[in-house]
Amino acid sequence: MLFLQTLVTGLSVGGIYALMAVGYSLVFSVLSFSNFAHGAVIMLGAYIGLGLAAKLNLGLGLVLSGSIAGAGIIAVLNERLAYRALRQRRAPSLYLMISAMGCSVFLENMVYATIGSRFYSFPKLFDHQVVEIAGSALSLLDLAAFGVSLISIYALHIFIMKTRMGIAIRAGVDDLTMCSLMGVNTNRLISVVFFLAGAFAGIAGIFLGIKYLVYPTMGWVTNKAYIAAVIGGLGSLPGALIGGLILGVLETFVSVYVSSIMRDVFSFTLLIILLIWLPNGLLGHEAEEKV
């Protein structure tokens, strides 16, 4: 059935969007700024995974682990080198966002200068395998991307709700200054938040690279993830998941049943309509200043 195949593909794309949107929401929930360097971290995570798969012939599990660790470390370094000094000087959120844009451009051009502008494809980790469900041939890659997305986001939810660091992060979302006064090491807390955001960027980069290609500007697809985060409500992890799935399914059905040219039109129209009626997204909370 074409409908079931389209639905699974949409859920797969939506799961990747959700992974990327979680990174945006994590940083935004604590620091109240949009980290536009997140797309570059996703791109670098994809290159790390590509190197592990192509040069070392590692399997998917090790490739994912390496990309998670590498992208997480890059995200932490990005925060320490580009954002920490601004935070300590209590710079407005707009300055952090401008710094993030500069980091994104720098990282992309660094890849252009060192690796080049070629498009690379992953080795056949899934070998285009399909499974038969209800008479439909479903891609194993799509099922894996959707499954890993759900498991990863659920694991993050457990971490946030059940661990001491997770409790500290939730307290930091409410009032980071009060956390500092209560003895919480806020620099460490923020480093953990950026590592988690980078880890999800690494997972997203792997599946994005396997599904499509790896190239220096692939991080710009995070524009869609940002839309998903806004739809769900910036700062809300369940909202990031819901927004990603809604956007992925909508885009896929529009591409199949209407026109691939109209896909982006529907995506941005949905965003505009939703923000008119729900300015904070589906699960977002009201805030005085959000940039």
Q: Identify the residue with better confidence: 180 or 130.
A: 180
Strand ranges for the chain from DSSP E: 130-133, 136-139
31 Cβ neighbours under 8 A, 6+ residues apart = 83, 87, 93, 96, 176, 190
Average pLDDT over residues 186-215: 94
Q: For the residues 179-203, what does the mean pLDDT come to?
A: 92
Instruction: Say which range, 24-33, 42-51, 139-148, 260-269, has the weakest mean pLDDT.
Output: 260-269
Output 105 or 221, whichever has higher pLDDT: 105
What pLDDT was estimated at residue 253?
A: 92
Helix (H, G, I), strand (E, B) or coil at 32: coil
The answer to whether residues 240 and 232 touch, using CB atoms and an 8 Å cutoff, is: yes
Q: Name the residue among 108, 120, 119 with its Cα closest to residue 217.
A: 108
DSSP string, 167-198: HHHHHHHH-HHHHHHTT--HHHHHHHHHHHHH
Q: What sign results for the dihedral spanned by CA atoms 43, 44, 47, 53?
A: negative
Q: Where are the domains of the chain?
A: 2-218
| Assessment of whether the complete model's pTM goes beyond 0.95 | no
> Residue 21 half-sphere exposure, CB side, CA atoms within 13 Å?
33
Q: What is the pLDDT of residue 46?
A: 96
Instruction: Judge contact between 195 and 38, C-beta under 8 A.
Output: no
The pLDDT of residue 149 is 92
The pLDDT, as a whole number, for residue 125 is 67
pLDDT tier, 174 (very low <50, low <70, confident <90, very high otherwise): confident
Cα→Cα distances 237→58, 97, 118, 275, Å: 31, 21, 34, 18
Contact in structure between 26 and 197 (CB atoms under 8 Å): yes
Among residues 10, 80, 87, 79, the alpha carbon closest in space to that of 38 is found at 79
Q: Residue 135: pLDDT above 70? A: no
Span 215-241, pLDDT tens digits: 999 988 888 888 888 888 877 788 888
Of 126-130, 180-184, 241-245, the range with the lowest mean pLDDT is 126-130
pLDDT at 172: 87
pLDDT level of residue 290 (50, 70, 90 thresholds): very low
Quick check: 144 and 130 in contact, CB under 8 A? no
Which pLDDT tens digit goes with each residue over 4-15?
A: 888 888 999 999
Scanning the structure block, which residue is given the tokens 């190239």? 215
**pLDDT at 286 (0 to 100):** 59
Partners of residue 133 on adjacent β-strands: 136
Q: Give CA–CA dist 214/56, Å, rounded.
A: 17
Q: What is the mean pLDDT of residues 156-176?
A: 90
**What integer pLDDT is reported at residue 276 of this predicted model?**
85
